[in-house]
Amino acid sequence: MIRSSNPTLGDKTFRDSQHMLAGGERSVMTLGGTVNKALILIAIVMATGAYAWTQLPANNIYMIGSALVGLGLVFVISFKKTWAPALAPVYAAVEGVFLGLITLMFETRYPGIATQAVGLTCFVFVALLLAYQSGLIKATENFKLGVAAATGGIFLFYIVGWIASLVGFPGMMNMHSVANASPMSIGISVFVVIIAALNLVMDFDHIENGVEHGAPKYMEWYAAFGLLVTLVWLYVEMLRLLAKLRER
């Protein structure tokens, strides 16, 4: 079965949840319920992001700490989907702190970039949602394979580059650093933004599948959480791309 390249969502995710539904869960996942959960999570991100922006010092301790806690929660929720109703809001709160601080860092150096990044992220989300609903973009098997392969390659690039920088070979990560505004570096950022955006289409498709398959009610929180993971990635990469363009 083809999975979403978002590690939190996939065909197996909803197929497994059907077995749990057969085991006694009565309420089922709905599209409206999932949308409401997603809006709640986004509101939490905005609230904690605003708090971090105005109340916390812009230093790496809070930023790196919140990023690591958020990453840990992604793994926990991915393996324990039934915990999503309790942990998804916690993840949103932690990611709000991270996004608030990283946005403040970029905004201090590039005034106005925060508004641009938020606006572009919202525009991409709405545009792809409309394209998906109208049938202009369809999550075919080849589409899923291509996006999944590209996403896997990007994260492998991140991991290898991070390991290389730890052992004294930072060259790979410098290719994607904000300070590097070369055409190749900008091209890499454009590619990453495109793949992150296409992951939204995968998420829409798998949320729709979950609703059609009658997944358990708690999967609304899990699906909303998975969508938020993609939006966070897209927003951060949008910040990086805009920063590189400012450096030109």
What are the sequence ranges of the domains in the chain? 11-247
For the segment 172-184, what is each residue's pLDDT rounded down to a tens digit?
A: 555 556 766 788 8
Specify the 3-state DSSP secondary structure of 28: strand
Mean pLDDT, residues 40-65 taken together: 91
Report residue 244 as tokens: 């590189």
Specify the 3-state DSSP secondary structure of 24: coil
pLDDT band at 22, cuts 50/70/90? very low
Ranges of H-type helices in the chain: 11-22, 31-55, 60-79, 84-109, 113-134, 141-166, 171-174, 183-212, 219-247
For the segment 80-109, what is each residue's pLDDT rounded down to a tens digit?
A: 999 999 999 999 999 999 999 999 999 999
What pTM was computed for the model? 0.85
Q: Is the pLDDT of residue 238 over 70?
A: yes
Q: Is the pLDDT of residue 248 over 90?
A: no
Q: Is the pLDDT of residue 194 over 50?
A: yes
Report residue 18 as tokens: 């059907």
CA-based R_g, the chain, Å: 18
Estimate to the nearest angstrom the gap between the alpha carbon of 247 and the chain centroid: 25
Closest CA to 5 of 194, 216, 134, 220: 194
Q: Is the pLDDT of residue 202 over 80?
A: yes
Complete DSSP assignment for 41-104: HHHHHHHHHHHHHHHS---HHHHHHHHHHHHHHHHHHHH-GGGHHHHHHHHHHHHHHHHHHHHH
Per-residue DSSP letter, 114? H
pLDDT band at 3, cuts 50/70/90? very low
The pLDDT score that the predictor gives to residue 179 is 65
